[in-house]
Amino acid sequence: MSGGFWNYQNRCLNEMADELRTAIAKARTGVEYYGHYSEEFVAEMSKLHDEIRTLNAKMHRVDWVLSGDDGEGNFSERLAEDSAEIVYDDSKNDVEWLKRCDNDDY
């Protein structure tokens, strides 16, 4: 694979999900100006975060098939494996997420 079918552009989805996850955690913990969002809007952001993570996993697997690195026959199996490793939004992890982001210079 020489950059993949999409030239690794799906990695931008992962970055977007990380940034959105940070905004969600800040909203729920009242950090900075994020505390003024309604619970309904934060729930929509959370749903979008999870959808982005899922889309990224699917695009990654399709990329491998289209690039010739993987076969269509094991697409579903590999997608299931990748999907099992997705870390979805969870309010119980907000503080830990923000600590991680501080260390990553978010």
- pLDDT tens for 48-77 read 999 999 999 999 999 999 988 889 999 999
Nearest to 90 by CA among 43, 34, 33: 43
**Which of left, alpha, beta for 37 (phi over 0: left; psi -120 to 50: alpha)?**
beta
The pLDDT, as a whole number, for residue 104 is 58
Q: Which residue has the higher pLDDT, 11 or 35?
A: 11
Average pLDDT over residues 24-49: 88
Evaluate whether 21 touches 87 at the Cβ level (below 8 Å): no
Evaluate whether 23 touches 56 at the Cβ level (below 8 Å): no
Burial of 62 (0-12, 13-18, 19+ CB in 10 A): middle
The pLDDT, as a whole number, for residue 33 is 65
